[in-house]
Amino acid sequence: MRLITTLSILLIGQILFGQNRVQKIDSLLTVMHKNEKLNGSVLIAEKGKVIYKHSFGYSNEETKQELDENSIFELASCSKQFTAMAIMMLKENGRLNLDDNISKFIPELANYKDITIRNLLNHTGGLPDYMVLMDSLFDKSKIATNKDIISIFSKNQPKIVFEPNTKYEYSNTGYALLASIIEKASGQTFADYLQKKIFTPLKMTKSFVYTRRYSPKKVDNYAFGYVYSDSLKKYFLPDSLTETNMVIWLDGIVGDGCVNSTVNDLLKWDRALYTNKLLSKEGMAELFQVATLNDKSKTKYGFGWAIDDNADFGKIVSHSGGWPGYVTYIDRHITNDKTIIILQNHNNVSIPVKSIRSILYNKPLPKPIVRKEVALPTEQLQKLIGVYEVEKDFEIKIKLENNQLFTQLTGQNAFPIFAESEQLFFLKVVDAQLQFEKNDKDEIVKLYLLQNGNKIEAKRIK
């Protein structure tokens, strides 16, 4: 896996000088693809008119079939916006209320009496992560479905992480349960409801819910997702690697993921969100309102969308998605009606949204971050191995395999980390660092996760 080197960055700057916006975007993405930091399809539109559309790389590494504008990608968490829309449509049809307790539709969860549908929509419910629970409680020889999540929560009754509406914490559990609520309220499967009420009316002909291991079918022009093994220096389907084989036994779960689509179809979706084809004017506005917590503070999330009132670019609603083999992003600039859609089927890639935004608005490109990797002896790396607790039921594990350190957050994949110094490490899959801290006895006692201007502390517990 190659990084974009300092020389490449300087080259990008030279290439972009004097070009128009579209040429600058193409040059940027072309260099990223050559440096293995981009593999997928990109579409950019202004007021609905496509100004840039291009695909980079293969949809199938074995057959070398090339990606194109009709390649179908797993959207991962970008699926959540469709789940939220379905809930809002059922609300307007009188099938549910947002302040209904979730037990009204899922009686097995009566123990969670204070959690509402609204809490699930805006990630304020406090339910623990289902992936962590199922990692230890589910029979992985089978493929889990949403019913298995409900069964495990009903049987084990894990405690909530926080009281509803006192905190925002991103929750895949909430959106999986929303899919089950959609099925109960509509009398249709989650897949059928989205197909009949959203995809077909919007003529999104290449969009559907797809669980390819649980319910396989032939899909033409499917973009298979690949993960890169640093140790083997090769791309693999995630099914074949131990650290990513959850894609098999979690494949029957929908709502938090499993919508598949193309860049062209997602532009149709984007355009519909400026109309009232699916929801009333009031309903559309509610989708893009941030949540208010009990203490009157505001979050930065609405219903299936992250919300940002940006000083430079106006109001932006966006969402990212990540699942072994897939990295996705949709960026909708509501104030200025610009759209950026990026669908990728490699895991070791970047999301160049900030750079594309800057080019679209004729602003200077953000300064690239170039980190210098240093080699550390094995005995130094071994001192860092352990479990670091951010809060109850949310940990950062550090492990060493074949002289390579890995970090793993609760409910997420393990990723390699690389040393900048004895106590400062960085990730290549995302722009993030881990800073380890010693006590006066020279023992590692905590670490800090540094990402997007945030500094999250985790104390060592093992």
3-state secondary structure 311-348: CCCEEEEEEEEEECCEEEEEEEECCCCEEEEEEECECC
The full DSSP string for 386-442 is EEEEEETTEEEEEEEETTEEEEEETTS-EEEEEESSSSEEEESSSSEEEEEEE-TTS
- Which value, in Å, is the radius of gyration of the alpha carbons in the chain? 22
**Rounded distance, CA 395 to CA 233, Å?**
29
Q: 299's torsion region: left (phi>0), alpha (psi -120 to 50) or beta? A: beta
Rounded to the nearest 5°, which phi and psi values hold at 310?
-90, 130
CA-closest candidate to residue 342, choices 275, 266, 273: 266
Burial of 217 (0-12, 13-18, 19+ CB in 10 A): exposed
**Rounded distance, CA 179 to CA 412, Å?**
21
Catalytic residue among 41, 55, 77, 79: 77
**Site of tokens 């079939």:** 65
**Rounded distance, CA 448 to CA 437, Å?**
8
On whether the CB atoms of residues 45 and 270 are closer than 8 A, the answer is yes
| Residue 55 known to be catalytic | no
Burial of 353 (0-12, 13-18, 19+ CB in 10 A): middle
Angle, in degrees to the nearest 10, between helices 21-34 and 353-360: 160
**Rounded distance, CA 219 to CA 162, Å?**
42
DSSP state of 196: I
Angle, in degrees to the nearest 10, between helices 172-186 and 80-92: 40
Q: Provide the token pair at 179.
A: 């899919």
Q: Which residues are catalytic?
A: 77
